[in-house]
Structure formats: structure tokens, C-alpha cells
């Protein structure tokens, strides 16, 4: 994979968008929009890779097990008590599997570029979260347990915000370990911010 690969750049843009996008016009303003964004971006990436005739995925035990789990879960539609709930859960699972396959593909193509890009993306997203959380904190009337529910960053709930930031820790620590000067300092700052939240 070349550093300027269109499929990789679309994938990175999709990961960024699916981290920050929301719509107030949908009942669940984060999950549904992020699923739609992820599915569209995944389809575009697979199409771009298909055009290059370059998609070669070697199935190992992890990928094979994940695929078997996705197939089994999709078959659960036939015995589910609530078919609509099963369809929705399976759609999330299939999209996450597609993202996993794309991540696996890009990681195998160029590990340094993939990890470096994801670490930088993680730092940027934590910075955006900091700005939004700071704004939401400034709008609080009181600093009590009930009012803190209105601080959720780019997520739909404060618990999702804390989980999202917790998942960023790996990339931030890797940024401290792998980068020099500027991005390393930004990784340290982002790590301190995540720990403080």
C-alpha cells in the first residue's frame, strides 16, 4: 500500500467520520449515523480495492473464528424472539467484521503507515472530544451527579464517552512509544486528558 492509496485515505476518513458524526434528526443520533457512515465507507473501500484487484486476505484462526461467529449470529434471525432486534444486532456485527477485514488488510499492507495514521487520528479525536466536553462542562449550572449526564462529548451518553476515551489509551501509549517530538508531546497531552476525564 502506498502512502497515498485512495482506499486507505477513504478508510481513514471513514474511521474519523464514524468517530465524530451524529445527526439530531434520528432517534439514536450517534449509533445509526455511525453505522450508516461505516457501511458506506466500507463498501467504497472494498470497491476501490476490487478495482485494483488487490484484495488478498489470508484467513487465520482469529479471522476464521470471527467469520464463523458472524455467520452463526446472522443465522440467529431464524430463531430470534424479535426479528427486528436480531437484524439490527447482526447489521452492527457484519459492519464491524467488514471494518475488521479492512483493518487487517491495511495493517498487512503497511504496518507503520497504518499504526502511525491511527495514532494520529486518535490524538485528533481526543482533542476534538476535549473541546466539546469543555464546552459542555462550561454550560453546566451545577457540578452534581445529575447534571453530569449532560456531558457526553460526541457520544450519546457519558458512559459511552468514558468507554470511547478508554479505548483510545492503546493508541496514545503507542504514540508516546513510537513518535518523536511533536506527535509524541501531543500523545502525552492526550493521554493526560483521557486520564483526567
Express each pLDDT in 44-91 by its tens digit. 998 888 888 767 777 789 889 999 999 999 999 998 898 888 898 999
Predicted pLDDT of residue 74: 93
> CA-CA distances (angstroms) from residue 8 to 41, 159, 180?
11, 31, 24
Q: Which residue has the cell 453530569?
A: 148
Predicted pLDDT of residue 2: 55
Predicted pLDDT of residue 195: 80
pTM for this predicted structure: 0.82
Q: Enumerate residue ranges in the chain where pLDDT < 70.
A: 1-4, 54, 197
> Taking a C-beta distance cutoff of 8 angstroms, is the pair 172, 123 a contact?
yes
Give the whole-angstrom CA distance, residue 54 versus residue 48: 9
Amino acid at each position: 500500500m502506498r502512502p497515498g492509496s485512495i482506499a486507505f485515505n477513504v478508510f481513514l476518513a471513514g474511521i474519523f467520520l464514524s468517530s465524530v458524526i451524529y445527526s439530531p434528526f434520528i432517534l439514536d443520533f450517534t449509533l445509526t449515523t455511525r453505522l450508516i457512515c461505516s457501511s458506506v465507507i466500507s463498501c467504497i473501500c472494498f470497491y476501490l480495492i476490487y478495482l485494483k484487484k488487490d484484495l488478498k486476505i489470508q484467513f487465520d484462526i482469529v479471522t476464521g473464528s470471527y467469520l464463523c461467529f458472524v455467520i452463526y449470529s446472522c443465522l440467529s434471525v431464524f430463531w430470534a424472539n424479535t426479528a427486528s432486534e436480531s437484524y439490527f444486532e447482526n447489521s452492527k456485527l457484519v459492519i464491524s467484521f467488514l471494518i475488521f477485514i479492512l483493518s487487517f488488510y491495511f495493517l498487512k499492507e503497511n504496518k507503520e503507515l497504518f499504526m502511525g495514521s491511527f495514532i494520529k487520528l486518535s490524538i485528533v479525536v481526543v482533542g476534538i472530544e476535549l473541546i466539546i466536553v469543555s464546552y459542555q462542562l462550561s454550560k453546566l449550572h451545577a457540578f452534581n451527579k445529575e447534571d453530569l449526564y449532560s456531558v457526553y462529548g460526541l457520544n450519546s451518553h457519558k458512559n459511552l464517552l468514558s468507554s470511547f476515551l478508554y479505548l483510545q489509551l492503546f493508541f496514545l501509549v503507542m504514540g508516546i512509544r513510537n513518535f518523536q517530538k511533536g506527535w509524541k508531546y501531543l500523545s502525552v497531552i492526550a493521554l493526560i486528558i483521557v486520564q483526567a476525564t
